[in-house]
């Protein structure tokens, strides 16, 4: 793979100079969904799939971008003087947003660069291809320009800032954090209110984590996401008139029930209920995992799905079909929607001897019901973003 990408780089941009290579993974979240902008906990892990990047500094201010995935677009040219979001810039808005954020934070990019990327995260799958591209770009800039003081956590925060302020998607920190900070065979138990985190080993001797891609992505994802965030903020404001809290993540279920009447809008109340209960589920699930109570972990995953479907309303019929089929399938310990929602993937824990049957039975029934095939990936958890050049 790296050899082919190097050849492609030289073919597109010409040989010579020092060409550096990087990788940043996608992620899957096991539990704790839509909690990261509510001061709650998340539990994601980095995948083996992600985005590869090759870069070389230039003598001038030019930026040249090329994606092997969008080869028809050819080389997209821009410059360091043109770090402004535009529809025309397409996928390059992600790396450009990261470059813009570097500049804003005083990390001056002293020259342009040639940049080639290739990603193997399925498009629109909700496995964080954009976050991986942001983290990849952050790592690339740190390395090329020698910003040694930047930590991987800083790179995650820069990625999130650029996505919020350059790309207009008000995401939380989970995806960039997982891509930057992932650790092989571990999920990251992250408290998004403090950024304290802990690596929890996820070596399940008797089971596998299986991602199922519904291969649907409904439009308006970004705006529906931002709406949810606004609804949670409105609920928080109402709650703050009766209880001293900074985020929804500060509340237990009991405290929420005690104070929820303060939330004026019933829709906002449902959204807040999800945020509070889901945060508590994430905390309980990690405890259960550490104590080897994997059935309890599965039960909490199922409850997470019901809450995302009914209270947070970010599921869709195709995803509900996949999850319900999983719940009915022998050997399934838990199954839920994962990521932002409105399509994308489910994540399931399946007993080792049930995996083949899971894939064949659900694959067939999904095709019969929905009309197209789902895709299945048995997860291997890997390290976070890294420099590949030796
Ligand atoms: C998207 C966002 C994350 C997070 C999830 C939902 O992936 O980028 O910050 O909010 O949705 O848990």
Query: Looking at the predicted structure, is the pLDDT value of residue 369 above 70?
Result: yes
Please count the other Cβ atoms lying within 10 Å of the Cβ belonging to residue 108.
10
Q: Compute, in angstroms, the gap from residue 190 CA to the centroid of ligand 1.
A: 13
Structure confidence at residue 221 (pLDDT): 58
Residue 151's pLDDT is 98
User: For 195-221, how does the pLDDT look when each residue is reduced to its tens digit (9 = 90+)?
Assistant: 999 999 998 999 999 999 999 987 655
Mutate to test the pocket of ligand 1, among 339, 342, 343 (most ligand atoms within 8 A of CB): 339
Let me know: does 267 contact 273? Beta carbons within 8 Å.
no
Which of the four pLDDT bands, split at 50, 70 and 90, describes residue 27? very high
pLDDT of residue 124: 84
Confidence of residue 273 (pLDDT cuts 50, 70, 90): very high
pLDDT average, residue stretch 283-306: 98
Atom index in ligand 1 nearest the CA of residue 173 equals: 9
67 φ, ψ (degrees, to nearest 5) = -110, 125
What is the pLDDT at residue 220?
57
Active-site annotation holds for 175: yes
Q: Which ligand 1 atom lies nearest to the CA of residue 163?
A: 8
Q: For residue 82, report the distance from its CA to the centre of ligand 1, in Å.
A: 29
Q: Which pLDDT value is given to residue 37? A: 98
Ligand 1 atom 1, closest CA: 340
Q: Could you report the per-residue pLDDT of 101-150, keeping only the tens digit for each? A: 999 999 999 999 999 999 999 988 999 999 999 999 999 999 999 999 99
The active-site residue out of 175, 238, 250, 382 is 175
User: Mean pLDDT across the stretch 88-98?
Assistant: 97
In a mutational test of the pocket of ligand 1, which residue from 174, 275, 344 has the highest number of ligand atoms less than 8 Å from its CB?
A: 174
Ligand 1 nearest atom to the CA of residue 131, by list position: 8
The protein residue whose alpha carbon is closest to atom 2 in ligand 1 is 171
Reported confidence tier of residue 346, pLDDT bands at 50, 70, 90: very high
Q: Which residues line ligand 1 (CB under 6 A)?
A: 29, 33-34, 36-37, 171-172, 174-175, 339-340
**Ligand 1 geometric centre to CA of 209 (Å):** 20
* pTM beyond cutoff 0.75: yes
Residue 53 Cα to ligand 1 midpoint, Å, equals 23
Which of 30, 44, 171 should be mutated for ligand 1, with most atoms under 8 A from CB? 171
CA 330 from chain centre, in angstroms, equals 29
21 alpha carbon – ligand 1 mean position (Å): 27
Which atom of ligand 1 lies nearest, measured to the CA of 32? 12
Ligand 1 mean position to 35 CA, how many Å?
Answer: 8
In this prediction, residue 123 carries a pLDDT of 81
Q: What is the pLDDT of residue 196?
A: 98
Could you report the per-residue pLDDT of 152-211, keeping only the tens digit for each? 999 999 999 999 999 999 999 999 999 999 999 999 999 999 999 999 999 899 999 999
Q: Which of 37, 41, 340 to mutate to test the pocket of ligand 1 (most atoms within 8 A of CB)?
A: 340
Give residue 164 CA to ligand 1 midpoint distance, Å. Answer: 12
Mean pLDDT score of the chain, rounded to an integer? 97
Atom 8 in ligand 1: which residue has the minimum CA distance? 171
pLDDT band at 2 (very low <50, low <70, confident <90, very high): confident
């Amino acid at each position: 793979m790296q050899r082919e990408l190097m050849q492609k780089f030289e073919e597109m941009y010409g040989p010579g100079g020092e060409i550096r290579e990087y990788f940043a993974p996608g992620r899957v979240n096991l539990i704790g969904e839509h909690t990261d902008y509510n001061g709650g906990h998340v539990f994601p892990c980095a995948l083996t799939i992600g985005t590869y990047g090759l870069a070389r500094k230039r003598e001038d201010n030019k930026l040249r971008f090329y994606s092997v995935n969008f080869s028809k677009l050819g080389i997209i040219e821009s410059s360091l003087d043109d770090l402004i979001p535009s529809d025309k810039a397409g996928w390059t808005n992600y790396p450009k947003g990261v470059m813009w954020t570097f500049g804003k934070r005083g990390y001056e990019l002293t020259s342009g660069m040639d940049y080639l990327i290739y990603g193997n995260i399925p498009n629109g799958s909700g496995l964080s291809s954009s976050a991986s591209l942001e983290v990849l770009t952050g790592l690339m800039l740190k390395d090329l320009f020698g910003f040694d003081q930047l930590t991987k956590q800083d790179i995650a925060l820069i990625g999130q800032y650029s996505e919020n302020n350059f790309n207009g998607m008000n995401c939380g920190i989970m995806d960039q954090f997982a891509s930057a900070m992932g650790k092989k065979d571990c999920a990251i138990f992250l408290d998004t209110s403090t950024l304290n985190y802990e690596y929890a080993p996820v070596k399940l001797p008797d089971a596998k984590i299986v991602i199922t891609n519904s291969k649907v992505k409904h439009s308006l994802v970004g705006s529906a996401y931002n709406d949810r965030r606004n609804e949670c903020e409105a609920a928080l404001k109402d709650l703050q008139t009766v209880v001293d809290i900074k985020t929804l993540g500060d509340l237990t279920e009991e405290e929420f029930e005690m104070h929820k009447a303060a939330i004026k809008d019933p829709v906002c109340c449902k959204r807040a209920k999800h945020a509070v209960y889901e945060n508590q589920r994430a905390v309980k699930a990690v405890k259960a995992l550490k104590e080897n109570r994997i059935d309890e972990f599965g039960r909490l995953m199922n409850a997470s799905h019901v809450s995302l479907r009914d209270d947070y309303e970010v599921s869709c019929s195709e995803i509900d079909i996949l999850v319900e089929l999983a719940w009915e399938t022998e050997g399934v310990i838990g199954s839920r929607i994962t990521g932002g929602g409105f399509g994308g993937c489910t994540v399931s824990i399946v007993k080792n001897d049930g995996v083949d049957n899971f894939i064949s039975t659900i694959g067939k029934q999904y095709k019969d019901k929905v009309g197209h095939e789902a895709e299945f990936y048995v997860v291997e958890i890997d390290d976070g973003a890294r420099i590949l050049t030796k």
